[in-house]
Structure 1
Amino acid sequence: MGIYDDPFGSILIGSWLASILAGLVLNQAYRYFAMYPTDPITRKAIVVCSMLLCGAALIADYANVYLPTVTFWGNTERVQKQYWPVPMYVTMNTCVGVIVNSYLIHRFYTLSKNIVICVVLSAFVILGFAGSILVAITIQMFSAFSARDKAEISALIWLISTATADISIAVALIWKLRTLKTGFKGTQSLINRLIIQTVQTGSTTSVVSIVTLVSYIIKNDSNVPTACCYLIGPLYLLTLFYNLNLRQHNLSLSGSGRSTSDGNGINDGMRMDGIHIHRVTVEAADPTRSVPQAGYNNSSIKDAETGSYGGAKVTDF
């Protein structure tokens, strides 16, 4: 029976791991809707859509295990073919990745306003999506395992583009965050936490994408890459929730859960879709002077919000 470890055992284990990740996704979804009931409807729509796609992919994962191990068990000819669950989970998981990566690219653009880098990152995401669609179409047309080579080029385009997009988006966010120099210890500490969180979330999907790519290159007739593909959708969704739900955590670390705005409703600071760094005002110690003198002591820098000296208030992350 050991001959079935690769074809059936790998996808069975992959479905178990995907189920565990799906449980974590449901937990994070509950936290999100409980903590942020006033979030914009567009953001909630992104979350709901991603969860529905991920749920459809999980059903396809189960079906892809059930068909060869139960329905067609003992039928040598039937178990050597690929059926509708394969193109379904490939397409659904990739769609989740496109939604989450688009959200992260939007965050990068809001922070940097660098349209060139955003276009490049979007090109990798679109190329990966196109590759996955070609893989799904090829599998639908040529269902036999012996014909998997026909999808080799499109599979390589899909996996390489996806891995490149994940790594590039994480690197772009880290690079931009490192260039933010506020001059205030508290604000800089929060930015450093943002960098660490970006590394943690970006590395997870990147590692799985790279493992999938390497395993496919080493042995493309194995089901190990298939098992890895099961995990991509839930991991992307956990990345999305990780970015959304940690806002409350960072608010408590920054010491305030409140953001301010002027009379026109414009926030008094810099905002990156969840990151809001308030500006500070500079006041001279001498109340008779309206403009601070050059070379004035740094201790005269006063936070307009908190009244503390030498600090900056960071909220709404």
Structure 2
Amino acid sequence: MADTVVQLTGPLVLGYQFNWGLYGVLATQLYTYHQAGFRDNRLIKSIVYGLFILETLQLIMATHDSFHTLALGWGNEGDLLDVWLSWFDLPFLTGITSATIQCFYAWRIYILSKSLVLAITIAAIALVQGSAAMAEGLQILISQNVPGTQVNTFKTTAVWLGGTALCDIIICCAMFYFLSTSRTGFRATDSLLNKLIRITIETGMLTSVIAIIELTLFLTFEHNFYHVVPAFMLSKLYSNSFLVLLNSRNSNRNSKQTTTSQTLHSLPEFSASREANRTGAMKVDLAHRTSDDIGMVSFSETENLNKQGNPPPDSDRVLCDV
């Protein structure tokens, strides 16, 4: 009996701790995003703040469950095996979060590749796995049988987590290919693309690995909560990886500002903006020139400039411009 209790309560404790820790990271990422003042459109901002609201709701519900299970219901096996709100805060909300972010990537891949078939395929897989996650939550709610969850929701969970991992892998491969083939030969642009490639692969592979681990634990170990640990992590890993990608533009902006500042510092100071030199050329005061004045364009605009032989402007919104 003692071993059974440990198998049930131990993963719950670890899962709740990881849940709170990743929420703290997410709050920091959101604060960084808000302070950066990115000029994103309403859709992207709605996704960012909407995901944070969902994650906050998930945290509140998970905390409610943990208090009732590990505090009020301590020593009561019935409370330990009660569903509480876990049917909604784990599979249901995780499915919504992951499907939303994967559909966003499908949209960006369409912008980069102009491949409607690939974008629809990614979006379809995302919607299928998200629907399977919500279906599993409803199955748990109806059955109210926590020990038999693995048996009752075997097929649904396999579709959910298997589809999640598959979709993430496709997104990683597609983003890697299209970003790699979009290199222009200019150092600043290629450096940004390399950073985006690295972040996309790291975050995408992380979420797919966690989904595979959760699926493996769910299908291998029955009548325990081992799978709950990665389950509590998955949703917030998706939200954090999404904000990490958006906030990566902030470091690029800081780098541009440093480079611009160093360049301006090396230029001669002009005391008057309309002082003419000996050849009659107009001298311009560059003291107020900042990197915020640089236009942000998409790849298509960059390619047009390349054909004309002109260097491309910085494009720190390569994943978020419309």
TM-score scaled to structure 1, two decimals?
0.81
Match of 1:32 in 2: 33
SS of the residue corresponding to residue 316 of structure 1 reads coil
Match of 1:294 in 2: none
Q: Distance in 1 between matches of 2:193 and 2:24?
A: 30
Match of 1:309 in 2: none
Q: Is the 8 A contact 2:94 2:133 kept in 1?
A: no
- AA aligned opposite 1:110: I
Quote how far apart the aligned CAs of 1:78 are.
4.0
Structure 1 stretches of 4+ moved >6 Å = none
2:299 matches 1:270: yes
**Identical aligned pairs, as a percentage?**
21
SS of the residue corresponding to residue 299 of structure 2 reads strand
Match of 1:98 in 2: 99
Q: Distance in 1 between matches of 2:179 and 2:313?
A: 17
Deviation string 1:277-306 (CA, Å, 9 cap, x unpaired) is: 4753677xxxxxxxxxxxxxxxxx553xxx
Match of 1:223 in 2: 225
Q: Which has the higher helix share?
A: 2
Quote how far apart the aligned CAs of 1:75 are.
2.8
Q: Is the 8 A contact 1:64 1:86 kept in 2?
A: no
- AA aligned opposite 1:187: T
SS of the residue corresponding to residue 223 of structure 1 reads coil
SS of the residue corresponding to residue 295 of structure 2 reads coil
Q: Is the 8 A contact 2:147 2:224 kept in 1?
A: no
SS of the residue corresponding to residue 44 of structure 1 reads helix
Deviation string 1:14-58 (CA, Å, 9 cap, x unpaired) is: 111111110011111111111126432222211111111111111
Q: Would the alpha carbon gap of residues 14 and 48 (structure 1) be closer, same or farther in structure 2, given more than 3 Å must change?
A: same
Q: Is the 8 A contact 1:187 1:277 kept in 2?
A: no
Quote how far apart the aligned CAs of 1:155 are.
1.1
Q: Would the alpha carbon gap of residues 8 and 124 (structure 1) be closer, same or farther in structure 2, given more than 3 Å must change?
A: same
Q: Distance in 2 between matches of 1:124 and 1:104?
A: 12
Alignment RMSD (CA, Å)? 2.3
Q: Is the 8 A contact 1:10 1:224 kept in 2?
A: yes
Match of 1:111 in 2: 112
Match of 2:75 in 1: 74
Return 5+ residue gaps in structure 2 as ranges.
260-290, 318-322
Q: Is the 8 A contact 1:278 1:313 kept in 2?
A: no
Taking the TM superposition and a 5 Å limit, the aligned residue runs for 1:83-232 are 83-148=84-149, 149-232=151-234
- AA aligned opposite 1:30: Y
TM-score scaled to structure 2, two decimals?
0.80
Deviation string 1:244-276 (CA, Å, 9 cap, x unpaired) is: 111121234455444338xxxxx5x526xxxx8
Q: Distance in 1 between matches of 2:307 and 2:64?
A: 64
Q: Between Structure 1 and Structure 2, how many residues are aligned?
A: 282
Q: Is the 8 A contact 1:19 1:58 kept in 2?
A: yes
Determine which of 278, 282, 305 is the counterpart of 1:280. Answer: 305
Return 5+ residue gaps in structure 1 as ranges.
262-266, 284-300, 304-311
Q: Would the alpha carbon gap of residues 37 and 248 (structure 1) be closer, same or farther in structure 2, given more than 3 Å must change?
A: closer
